[in-house]
Amino acid sequence: MRGLQLSLDKGQKLRFERAFEVLESLSSKSNSDASVIVADDISVNNEDAILKGHGTAEMNDRLVATLCGVVERVNKLVYVRPLRARYKPEIGDIIIGRVIEVAPKRWKLEINFSQDAVLMLSSMNLPDGIQRRRTAVDELNMRSIFEENDVICAEVRGFQHDGCLHLQARSQKYGKLKRGQLLTIPPYLVKRRKQHFHHLDQYGIDLILGCNGFVWVGEHVEVRDDMIEDLSDKSEQQKVKSWNTMGDEEVQEEYTPPDTRQNICRSANAIRVLSTLGFTITVEIITEIVELSKSMDLDVHEMLGAEFYVIVAEKEAERRSLPTKRR
Amino acid sequence: MVGLSLGEQTFIKGGIEQDLRTDGRKRLTYRPIFLETGIIPQASGSARVKLGATDVIASVKVELGKPNPSYPDKGKVSIYVDCSPTAEPSFQGRGGEELSTELSSALERCLLGGKSGAGAGIDLSSLCIVRGKKVCWDLYIDGLVVSSDGNMLDALGAAIKAALSNTVIPKVQVSANAPSDETPEVDVSDEEFLQFDTSGVPVIVTLTKVGGHYIVDATTEEESQMSSAVSVSINRLGRICGLTKRGGAGLHPTVVLDTISAAKHVSEQLMNKLDSEIAAAEACDEMES
């Protein structure tokens, strides 16, 4: 495994390699002829009228791939879908971003794309929930909604004529994310699904798998309508708290309860393990790994040890080989 | 690095308060250490250490040199650290220089002791070839930060320790008949080598103070919340070889004493862990070559 460096002992190494052999043998069957590496020929069967798409180039009357990936054909268009690439937004994607700038009438967000995304003040629900024109006062109060460095969840609205990417947050479920941690994983490990917001009831946590490879794991918050008072209240309290450092009983109450925090950390570590191993990340697998670690009675930080990586790899190999046997 | 939102900051601080940090560690737990030795063939000794996403390389080059006239029976050691721009965009150009000098001077303080070499983690008199002759070994220790995710000083300390135990010094023959005030002729053997003695090299433990508690092996996110950090270098006997403090906020003397006793406790585990990792890496290295 390239890029993966763990201190494995001999037995672990053997088991690890065996698990990956199983995984490889499973994947290569499905589309071995369609996958190409750079400079591979793409067979076009001497058709004249083909359209050369992304990741292809013509050299000496042959069509060659310029990317590693899978050849896809749509009628006459031939293109290569890369295996590993930067996030490319599609309309309707649910993404997580970080505010880098508060500009006139808009926020600029870092979303792991080649350019920054824009969230207009007009394309988000105002915290008081009233539909109206945005006034100059609203514009002045933008920082009370989102500040620099805030983590925000939003939806991709589309590309504007000038090529910049616009987002929207027209629902109470979108908005600022607090009390939790943000993880960054390769975006190709998150597949587009119907549901990206997950409330894991048994753990009391929220899990948001952003299509751009940002994953939020945090304390569960009920979606409420009276957000604005709550919001300013909280940030005020937090500011006060950071000043009078510690010891107070009140401060203790403000923090995430230890049980919830344990679950947050456990889930976050499950995601870390899965993404290092390069496995697709879905809620089912995450909960499975969390349960596995719990049943093995592992401490949260022991999930990042070498032994657990091997077990997860074996588990995944087992899981993937099962459905094929049933068929 | 990117900033953190208020919510994330509170979450990190709360985690440290509750003794369960964002990656599930306790306050005094290190991240898993990955260690390789002998990665640079041209160097006399080299090692690479990974602590989570922190990735550092250390190399040791041995050269013949002249000892300092005031300390004729001691060798010389110089430590230089470079921060690669691949670690962080802000290290580009001269951006990493400040951190580089800070790290090198901290390492010098932790490993080399005083100017005379007293209290040094590296025994300078072992670098002397013949007593009283104007020739000695110079050790050039270079560190490179490839990727930074906090706690670079501890990682560099561990890498240097591993690189030194990987270091071999060639056996030399000094012609005895040369006059004592001239540089003697030295015959360096290509085949026979001596292992460098690393039993006295300390490990560095950095305790970062966040809120009312201190933690070891802080990540970049946690370091952004710190008020101050104390780095203690402790050798196998549990003695302190060096001490440095970073960060603007002052510390109460009792807190310093407290951190030292905590560091001493942590260093025992770290020392054992490092020793076993170094032994494993050396065995792996020998198998390949």
**Rounded to the nearest 5°, which phi and psi values hold at B234?**
-130, 135
Q: Name the H helices within A87-154.
A: 136-140, 142-145
Class of CATH domain A87-176 = mainly beta
Q: Tell me: the pLDDT tens digits for B181-232?
A: 666 677 777 778 888 878 888 899 999 998 888 899 999 999 988 899 999 9
Nearest CA in chain A to B50: A5
In a domain, B102, yes or no: yes
Domain count, chain B: 1
In a domain, B1, yes or no: no
Which among A299, A102, A255, A122 has a CA at the least distance from the CA of B212? A255
How much is the pTM?
0.84
Q: What's the pLDDT score for residue A229?
A: 46
Domain pair A36-82 / A87-176, same fold? yes
Neighbours of A169 (CB within 10 A): 22
Q: What's the pLDDT score for residue B286?
A: 79
Determine the Cα–Cα distance for residues A269 and A319; give it in Å rounded to an integer.
20
Which among A177, A166, A176 has a CA at the least distance from the CA of A89? A166
Structure confidence at residue A251 as a pLDDT band (50, 70, 90): very low
Q: Are A96 and A215 in contact (CB under 8 A)?
A: yes
Q: How far is B122 from chain A (nearest CA, A)?
A: 28
Domain ranges of chain A: 1-25+181-222+251-327, 36-82, 87-176
Q: How far is CA A130 from CA A71, A147, A168, A233, in A?
A: 49, 21, 16, 20
In a domain, B73, yes or no: yes
The mean per-residue pLDDT over the stretch A178-189 comes to 91
Q: What's the pLDDT score for residue A216?
A: 94
Q: Tell me: the pLDDT tens digits for B55-110?
A: 999 999 998 888 887 877 788 889 999 998 888 888 888 888 888 998 999 888 88
A11 touches chain B (CB under 8 A): no
Which among B146, B199, B193, B147 has a CA at the least distance from the CA of B172? B193
**Among A residues 106-125, those touching chain B with beta carbons less than 8 Å apart:** 110
Pick the range with the lowest mean pLDDT from A93-102, A248-257, B142-151, B189-198: A248-257
- The whole-chain average pLDDT of chain B stands at 86
Q: How far is B223 from chain A (nearest CA, A)?
A: 16
Q: Are B40 and B19 in contact (CB under 8 A)?
A: no
Query: Which tokens is A279 given?
Result: 């496995």
Half-sphere exposure of A19 (CA within 13 A, CB side): 21
Domain boundaries A36-82, corresponding CATH code? 2.40.50.100
For the domain that residue B34 is a member of, what is the CATH number?
A: 3.30.230.70
Cross-chain Cβ contact B35/A7 below 8 Å: yes
Q: What's the pLDDT score for residue B119?
A: 64
In a domain, B59, yes or no: yes
Scored b (16 or more CB within 10 A) or e, B27-42 reads: bbbbbbbbbbbbbbee
**What is the domain extent for residue B53?**
6-288
A287 touches chain B (CB under 8 A): no
A311 burial (CB, 10 Å; 0-12 / 13-18 / 19+) is: buried
Give the alpha-carbon dihedral of A16, A22, A23, A29, to 10 degrees: 160
The residue type found at B183 is: T
